[in-house]
Structure 1
């Protein structure tokens, strides 16, 4: 019994010591933590708040009504550069009181940030100056105050604004973020992504991103996690008019307008290994694309060689794999314009469906399966068109084969291109068009076949495209064979490639040669 009393007394004394220690640590931390968050903190930011509740025993901190302001901006009100934030509340769980006492840093298992409104004012009009600026401008300043394993952010809004014109470079609304298993150190801060993590998830209601001086990107309902990405209402749209684009483009270049109802990436893996980006996915699916590709012929031809698709994929510097790319229910329009006065010629493909297999970069491979592309669509919105196209990325000659057909095509539907582009109108029916072209980076050859009837041509004056040239039209109709007499005519074609032009220009010249051989 005597021994039992001693044990009870010992336990009571130990409990009292723990209580006093906890009370002392609690008082210390309650005094030390506000100091860490004040202007004396080691970051470049002043932090103010409405209330701070600390439970040392539970390792729990709740801060409400937080305001974050760059210290430089407090001294120089004309200099707005830096991060400004208003945060409803921050909850820190399992924090280590000893770290607060001895390292001037909050170390904890997790931090939850509720309803932050963050504005990042930048001195440049890029979302990030370079791959290092996430680490130097965002992660490092706050890592000097808080170090955690897991970060959760709920209902956040983030803006990046260019100071000079006060226009947004990025605007993301109603963001939810989950990052678990975070590691940050000096070596990791030097990487393109300045922290390691085990799992992540990201949701965002809407996104605006100024890609560069020409384009902005928009999207809605963005969701991504470890193995997938989906979004809706995607747009990559020019911020300038066609005239403005041509005026600032000395060399021929395409201007794109891209929209898609939805984008879905399945079984995705990406990241950086030894500073090397990698990306792989089982499938990329795009639905209801509306794509417009515009080219003006006013700028000079590009002086350099245009790569074919084999070479483009072969030259990718990082490991890339997408097993299947699907485009469904889409519309593609190509416009080419010699001058703004004449207007562009247009070629369109509607109800466009495509399946492409084995999209890979060459890095890490010595052999690969052929890239195969199957297309079904309506040419000029009316005529069934089918294309089968294949090439191999590892083929250094950039070999390819493309074959297909167009059926029941009324040539009047091509007037939107030929009238504006070559002062010509035509009428008549191409009942059947077939092509099978094999080529490489230097030349191509193949077969072209055409069945047609009632073909007539009208030529217009160069100086006055609104007026028909009767003499030229009459001569052209004497030269052109206007009927294949219910037979499919076959010819061989052979074309030397102009290395400065695109694959599609190269392909079209094969079709053009076949038409000339049959019709003239």
Structure 2
């Protein structure tokens, strides 16, 4: 037994002695031969004050290291010029480095590095060699001043007074994921700059971490190219971005190879600018999802501005000031399958002075808005034509409406929407206050032969589930003007103190929804006469049946002259004390009852060509005008066939017109 222990002790002692001799020998080799090796075998001239190597622990340390490239003009080789006060490498696999040419170390620490680095040119395919495997788990840089430039002498990275600590770093070769992952980091730096792609750079006056929070001051993301050059060089990209922010901060930033998580991101005074190309981007089919999952617990934007520009630099959208908050934003493999490739739990956006260029004919604007996942509140909405009426008529290829619409306030409440396979929108209430809508149509352009659908079919053709429980227009004004080329002047009808209520507005796409749509209107016709309308249809009715009825009281006949003169070549005086009607129809015909009572009513017939009063025929007509309406039947039957190239309201007016003709005159003159 004693002999065995003695032999074992001798063997172990011999091994330890051998390791010690090798360690001393390798240290002596490094001390006396490494300078010659560096001088003859590397592209760098390196000097140092001290160098210590421990084979057992794999530790290397050196002080006062001076490094210079032997041939700084050779852009095929990485160029380094600078000084490092101290270098410490721990647990370096020295045998692995010598035998397998693989760098595998636990940590590297650089003290006060002052380095200028020029990256090497990319190698051609024929000359590319497999890069040396490189594994460094922990990095520590103290008081660094580092500048990195590309082979074209453009800056790639720079930082002053850089202090960086990275724990458990791992690199990743998957191009669809983050290039690295790490457990934790700490950083402070001044005048930080980095080129992050072939298009974008970021810079900041100050970067620091404090108790797990990263703060970036005077942040800027911008393009290194102007828009014209970017548009030519990056044809598959739709938009060019720039972001400035006085301060950006966030907590618990986690880099995983396939995930980027953070909490409580905050942007202070950010300026977002997006410039879009005009040409559409054709997306390749069967594109793979980007492998990075984004999970942001809370995002805050304070006092931000937003501008979207056309390719010529003109604004297509702008927001002078806004605050925003988004909670639990998530974009991952599951959400990427939906039409909206992300989801969130809640959001709120408050903004002022919104502008949107909606195309060739209109601009939209808001003075302010307040939006959340449950409600939307818009103030001073305006939809303003870009052209005068004359310019609009000259521009349109065929007959169309020009709108000029404003609303003091638009309130949407009880908003419930999803956007997975398709949009699904449900509103409990929509209120539009003090709407002022002017609709103008000229009959000078040629007719538009396209069929005008009834509203039940318009709603039914919406491709997604839409339900609005209650829609109201409150204390509004509607004006419709139609300009005819026969010099009779524009036909004009308007409604003041207009109040409308619609229930169950729906697209007939959701099971269990009441598809019957009742509409009630109370207003003043032509600004003076009380008017009420009851209108009903059912979006599930494929024949598009509807009913519409109502009354107008105490209407001065002069007030309907702007409306009946262009269409009937008649003017009237006196008073229409009541006008009642009750129609029903479908996409083909409309019929029903029409009744009018009046007092001291007289008519004048107008010559269609000369626009002068036909005195004789007017006199004859007034012999047959029902001056005392009580002597005639209470109502007349109307019947009209629908011109499907005209709107529902044209169809509706034709019924009123038929009733007026049959009640104002006994015979057709």
From 309, 314, 322, the equivalent of 2:455 is 309
Shift of 1:195: 2.2
Does the residue aligned with 1:449 lie in a helix, a strand or coil? strand
From 89, 109, 123, the equivalent of 2:263 is 109
Name which of structure 1's ranges 26-35 and 233-242 shifts more when overlaid on structure 2. 26-35
The answer to whether structure 1 residue 442 and structure 2 residue 588 are counterparts is yes
Larger radius of gyration: 2
From 158, 162, 168, the equivalent of 2:310 is 162
- Tell me the distance in 2 between the aligned counterparts of 1:327 and 1:223: 20
The corresponding residue for 2:529 is 383
Matched residue count: 484
| Residue ranges of structure 1 left out of the alignment (5+ in a row) | 1-16
Does the residue aligned with 1:183 lie in a helix, a strand or coil? strand
In the alignment, is the contact (CA less than 8 A) between 2:519 and 2:536 conserved in 1? yes
From 85, 89, 93, the equivalent of 2:243 is 85
- Tell me the distance in 2 between the aligned counterparts of 1:104 and 1:71: 28
TM-score, length-normalised on structure 1? Answer: 0.84
- Tell me the distance in 2 between the aligned counterparts of 1:499 and 1:123: 40
The corresponding residue for 1:292 is 438
**Deviation readout 1:6-51 (Å, 9 max, x if unpaired):** xxxxxxxxxxx9xx9999497234798989x844425842111111
TM-score, length-normalised on structure 2? Answer: 0.66
- Tell me the distance in 2 between the aligned counterparts of 1:85 and 1:197: 23
Structure-2 change in CA distance of 1:94 and 1:207 (3 Å): same
Does the residue aligned with 2:391 lie in a helix, a strand or coil? helix
Shift of 1:83: 1.6
Name which of structure 1's ranges 401-410 and 43-52 shifts more when overlaid on structure 2. 43-52
- Tell me the distance in 1 between the aligned counterparts of 2:281 and 2:579: 51
Shift of 1:434: 0.7
Shift of 1:512: 1.5
In the alignment, is the contact (CA less than 8 A) between 1:199 and 1:226 conserved in 2? yes
The answer to whether structure 1 residue 481 and structure 2 residue 614 are counterparts is no
- Tell me the distance in 2 between the aligned counterparts of 1:417 and 1:62: 67
The answer to whether structure 1 residue 71 and structure 2 residue 71 are counterparts is no
- Tell me the distance in 1 between the aligned counterparts of 2:311 and 2:296: 32
Shift of 1:220: 2.4
The answer to whether structure 1 residue 27 and structure 2 residue 27 are counterparts is no
The corresponding residue for 1:226 is 373
- Tell me the distance in 2 between the aligned counterparts of 1:106 and 1:291: 48
| Residue ranges of structure 2 left out of the alignment (5+ in a row) | 1-105, 110-136, 142-162, 167-184, 234-238
The answer to whether structure 1 residue 184 and structure 2 residue 352 are counterparts is no
From 196, 215, 220, the equivalent of 1:62 is 215
**Deviation readout 1:421-440 (Å, 9 max, x if unpaired):** 55542112111111111111
The corresponding residue for 1:41 is 196
The answer to whether structure 1 residue 514 and structure 2 residue 666 are counterparts is no
The corresponding residue for 2:511 is 365
The corresponding residue for 2:207 is 52
In the alignment, is the contact (CA less than 8 A) between 2:241 and 2:273 conserved in 1? yes
Written as runs of structure 1 = structure 2, the 5 A alignment for 1:348-359 is 348-359=494-505
In the alignment, is the contact (CA less than 8 A) between 2:294 and 2:331 conserved in 1? no
Higher relative contact order, chain-length normalized (CA < 8 Å, sep 6+): 1
The corresponding residue for 2:277 is 123
- Tell me the distance in 1 between the aligned counterparts of 2:452 and 2:326: 42
- Tell me the distance in 2 between the aligned counterparts of 1:227 and 1:265: 8
Does the residue aligned with 2:309 lie in a helix, a strand or coil? strand
**Deviation readout 1:356-400 (Å, 9 max, x if unpaired):** 111111113377342111111100000010111111111111111
The corresponding residue for 1:468 is 613
Shift of 1:448: 0.9
- Tell me the distance in 2 between the aligned counterparts of 1:443 and 1:340: 28
The answer to whether structure 1 residue 498 and structure 2 residue 643 are counterparts is yes
More helix by share: 1
In the alignment, is the contact (CA less than 8 A) between 1:367 and 1:394 conserved in 2? no
The corresponding residue for 1:149 is 297
The corresponding residue for 1:13 is none
The answer to whether structure 1 residue 329 and structure 2 residue 475 are counterparts is yes
The corresponding residue for 1:252 is 399
Structure-2 change in CA distance of 1:340 and 1:449 (3 Å): closer
Does the residue aligned with 1:507 lie in a helix, a strand or coil? helix
The answer to whether structure 1 residue 410 and structure 2 residue 556 are counterparts is yes
Shift of 1:219: 1.1
Structure-2 change in CA distance of 1:519 and 1:493 (3 Å): same
In the alignment, is the contact (CA less than 8 A) between 1:72 and 1:79 conserved in 2? no
Shift of 1:60: 1.0
Shift of 1:185: 3.5
